[in-house]
Structure 1
Amino acid sequence: MTNIRIVVVEDEAATARSLIQILNEADDQVAVVKALSSVSGAVAWFNDNPDGYDLIFMDIRLADGLSFAIFKQVAISRPVIFVTAFNDYAITAFKNNGIDYILKPFDPDEIGTALDKYKTWTGNAEKPGAPVLSELLMQLGNLGKSYKKSFLVHYRDKLIPVESAKIAWFYTANELVHLHTLDDKQYVVDATMEQLEQQLDPALFLRVSRQFIINRQAVVEAEFYFNGRLLVKVKPQPAEQIVISKARTAEFKKWMNS
């Protein structure tokens, strides 16, 4: 059988590894030929390898911007399965070769179903996405809007509930995620940053960098930084600076001004 040559575009290293493992285990026809982590890197690779792949699994929010920017800089003729923690990009996704739209955190069954959809698509001459657009938009529109109200954390020999509204920020390092409360307490939380993005109320929390998700109640001020970036001051202040990239400053301003 002919292998399905897959490119993974994902800026979270742990998520990329997990996705690649699931793909390799889901189907013996799958061959992951490349893992990319940025818009710029993807543009360069797809320009150099226009025929080097059959299918793309692509995150939407990358470290240097939205992945939709890739389609503006290079011709992508193969189908794309978007894998994201956000449900508000569905229409744009299907305008950019999308044949499926999987919300994180995903499971192996969803990935297997998406691969089956790709196999069906390869025998269909219709435009990518057309057969499933209305169905998926309906599913996305019916998603519940409830968010986590608290997190159960371990502290010594106890389990302690921490209210989401009382969390100042989440920080990730060495594949561990820490939460820091408004009253200056810190715990390890059993979740990835991408899972947290889906679980937290976006009106209250925003992921401002790969390392930080912050609570608007913790923000003291933001000052202009080098190269169009922003330096955000929060309280309590973490040991590491919170720097928002130029690509994310507009989103941060809109969030704070809403």
Structure 2
Amino acid sequence: MKALIIEDELLIARELKYKIEMAAPDVEILEILPSLKTSRKWFMQNPQPDLLFMDIQLSDGVSFDLLEEFSLDCPVIFTTAYDEFAVKAFRNNGIDYLLKPVDLDELTVAINKCRQYLGKTAAVPDLKKLLDIISSKEPTGTYKEKFIVHFRNGLVPINVDQIVCFTRDNLYYLITDKGEKYPIEYESLEEVEQILDPNLFFRANRQCLVNIHAIQRVVPNENGKLSIYLGEVYQEAIDISRDKAPAFRKWLDR
């Protein structure tokens, strides 16, 4: 069985590939594609795979577009974060949905479900119906409102609206609007990103998540990249890649 991974976070993609190899050694990963642009090019030059692993929100758009544009009918396993309503929509249409980080046992079940579709023992998922359901309802959810951090001999609650950014520098930190820097007990920024309101926080790069209300200046660079500045509390420039810049502009200009 030949499979394709569409995921814009390389570390997540590599971890998923490793877990797929553990869960189903017979599944061959053809390629890891990091964007809509590269995915479109791939599908124009290759037949569709037997199985597709797709993150929904990519740096340059939403992966649902590929399903419509290329009329894909292969089994799909989505790996992203949507609300409970949407999760039911995925599973009711015979398409599995895995939360990140992907659990190995759940991944095994999902792959076995796809084998049934390929073996013609189950109906092919109605992707069009799924797209109609998802497009009719914006993803919602309950997002984290405060973080509890260690300070001296006690614990301090920090409201999310006080946080200008989250950074990675050996450890993971949050930085407040007063310039205070506290370590947080999370294993990755991906994990932090999943519990934050995406309307308020943007993943600028692998090292930084920024609060929209903390952004004071955006400077375009000649190479198509952007540099954003958060003022006195965090004076370093935060770089956004050329590929991610359009998504950032759209997120900021609301």
User: TM-score when scaled to structure 1?
Assistant: 0.72
Shift of 1:59: 0.7
The residue that corresponds to 1:108 in the other structure is 104
Change (3 A) 1:109 1:222: same
Q: Secondary structure at the match of 2:22?
A: helix
Cα-Cα RMSD: 3.9
Other-structure match for 2:236: 239
Residue matched to 2:178: 183
Of residues 10, 21, 25 in structure 2, which corresponds to 1:24?
Answer: 21
- CA distance in structure 2 between the partners assigned to 1:37 and 1:85 by the alignment: 18
Counterpart-to-counterpart distance in 1, 2:183 and 2:109: 33
1:39 to 36, 41, 60: 36
The alpha-carbon deviation at position 58 of structure 1 amounts to 0.8
Q: Using the alignment, how far apart are the partners of 1:105 and 1:202 within structure 2?
A: 18
Shift in CA distance, 73/231, structure 1 to aligned 2, threshold 3 Å? farther
SS for the counterpart of 2:248 is helix
CA distance in 1, matches of 2:223, 2:63: 21
Work out whether residues 179 and 234 of structure 2, in 8 Å CA contact, stay in contact via their aligned partners in 1.
Answer: no
Match of 1:14 in 2: 11
Q: Post-superposition shift, 1:154?
A: 6.5
Does structure 1 retain, via aligned residues, the 8 Å contact 2:175–2:182?
A: yes
Tell me: CA distance 1:102–1:129, structure 2 relative to 1, closer, same or farther (3 Å): farther
TM-superposed CA distance for 1:224, in Å, is 6.6
Could you tell me which residue of structure 1 aligns to residue 209 of structure 2? Answer: 213
2:62 is equivalent to residue 66 of structure 1: yes
Partner of 2:72: 76
Name stretches of at least 5 consecutive residues in structure 2 with no aligned partner.
Answer: none
Say if 1:85 and 1:194, in contact at 8 Å, map to a contact too.
Answer: no
Number of residue-to-residue matches in the alignment: 240
TM-score (norm 2): 0.73
Compare 25-34 and 54-63 and name the one that shifted more: 25-34
Instruction: Tell me the equivalent position of 1:126.
Output: 123
SS at match of 2:19: helix
**3-state secondary structure, aligned to 1:117:** helix
Instruction: State the Cα distance separating 1:104 from its structure 2 match.
Output: 2.4
Q: Secondary structure at the match of 2:253?
A: helix
Distance 2:126 2:180 in 1: 47
CA distance in 1, matches of 2:158, 2:169: 21
Structure 2 vs 1, CA of residues 179 and 129 (structure 1 numbering), >3 Å: closer, same or farther?
Answer: farther
Is 2:227–2:237's contact at 8 Å kept on the other side of the alignment?
no
Distance in 2 (CA, whole Å) between partners of 1:247 and 1:74 is: 23
The sequence identity of aligned pairs, in percent, is 34
Q: Which residue of 2 aligns with 1:192?
A: 188
Higher alpha-carbon deviation: 12-21 or 182-191: 182-191
Inter-partner Cα distance in structure 2 for 1:64 and 1:108: 28
- Give the 3 Å change call, closer, same or farther, for CA 182–23 of structure 1 in structure 2: same
CA contact (8 A) 1:11 1:63 kept: yes
Tell me, yes or no, if the aligned pair for 1:83 and 1:104 is still in contact at 8 Å. yes
Displacement of 1:78: 1.8
Residue 166, structure 1, aligned to residue 190, structure 2: no
Q: For residues 69-102 of structure 1, give each alpha carbon's deviation from its aligned partner in whole angstroms, at most 9, with x where no partner exists.
A: 33455453422111113449949x96xx982222
Q: What is the rounded CA distance, in whole Å, between the counterparts of 2:103 and 2:4 in structure 1?
A: 19
